[in-house]
Amino acid sequence: MLALVLRGFLQRKLRVLLTAIAIALGVALMAGTYVLTDTINQSFASIFQSANKGHDVVITPTQSLGRQTRVQTSPITEETLARVRATSGVAEAAGSIFTPATFLRTSGSRLTTGGAPAFVASLTPPRFNSFRAVKGRFPAIADELAIDEATAERANLKLGEQMVVAGSAPAKRYTIVGITQFGGGQSFGGAGAAILTLAEAQRVVGSPGRFDQIDVAAAAGVTPAQLRDRIRPVLPSTVEVRTGTEQANKETSDLESNLSF
């Protein structure tokens, strides 16, 4: 039987060679896919940990699963922030914005972000700020912004130049006053981030007086879990209350689920 099989292989050398190549390519493709997925997961796990560093508790809108994406069921308001600040054990709390937007040159052409998305981010207190200015400074007035270093390099943007940010509100020109890095890297996983003052970021995304997230720091002697359990009862069910570690794990899990295909 073995001799018969070997004879068949020798008589059909081309077929055997093509079959071997197909198997090798298939194995290489699968191995490469797993390596790429694991690399992306690990990279973003580190990003999420950096983003939530210094956040003892994180409050986000409850999301429901729509036909294709998760949608927020209710926005976070100034009233929600006031309730959080009034909770015993809260040392500091701040609302923030981090929402997709479009970056343009003053000529109207789109700024390249290397295929990655672009976001509008609001300036947050130093305790919660994952960005640092490597050139210039953070914005102080509504007409200023700081842009991530990767976007600045790709688009050859310099301090003092102008760019346009468009969101739900009409597009507007801003003067670049700072170049930033996220958690020691040039950008947020390759995505572009334009940092504006909080009120201006809310205007751009069409959510005045509302936030995408509330970051909370615990007072001395209060653990993140204790503070989470104190805040949860005073807020409506339309928001999720997690520790910073839980939020990082949730974001990592969501990413892994989205990449599971």
Q: What is the DSSP letter of 238?
A: T
d(CA 176, CA 195): 10
What confidence category does residue 249 fall into, taking pLDDT thresholds of 50, 70 and 90?
A: confident
Task: Give the pLDDT score at 24.
Answer: 64
pLDDT digits (tens, 9 = 90+) for 103-153: 999 988 888 766 678 899 999 999 998 888 999 999 999 999 999 998 999
User: For 246, phi and psi rounded to 5 degrees?
Assistant: -65, -40
Give dist(CA 44, CA 47) in Å, integer. 5
Residue appearing with tokens 């970051």: 215
Task: Look up the pTM and report it.
Answer: 0.73
Kindly tell me if the per-residue pLDDT of 213 is higher than 60.
Answer: yes
**Per-residue model confidence as pLDDT tens digits over 11-68:** 565 665 566 666 766 666 665 555 545 544 454 545 555 555 668 999 999 875 544 4
| 73 CB-near residues (< 8 Å, 6+ apart) | 61, 62, 63, 64, 238
CA distance 223 to 143: 39
Q: Residue 252's CB: how many other CB atoms inside 10 A?
A: 18
DSSP string, 188-236: BTTBEEEEE-HHHHHHHTT-TTEESEEEEEEPTT--HHHHHHHHGGGS-
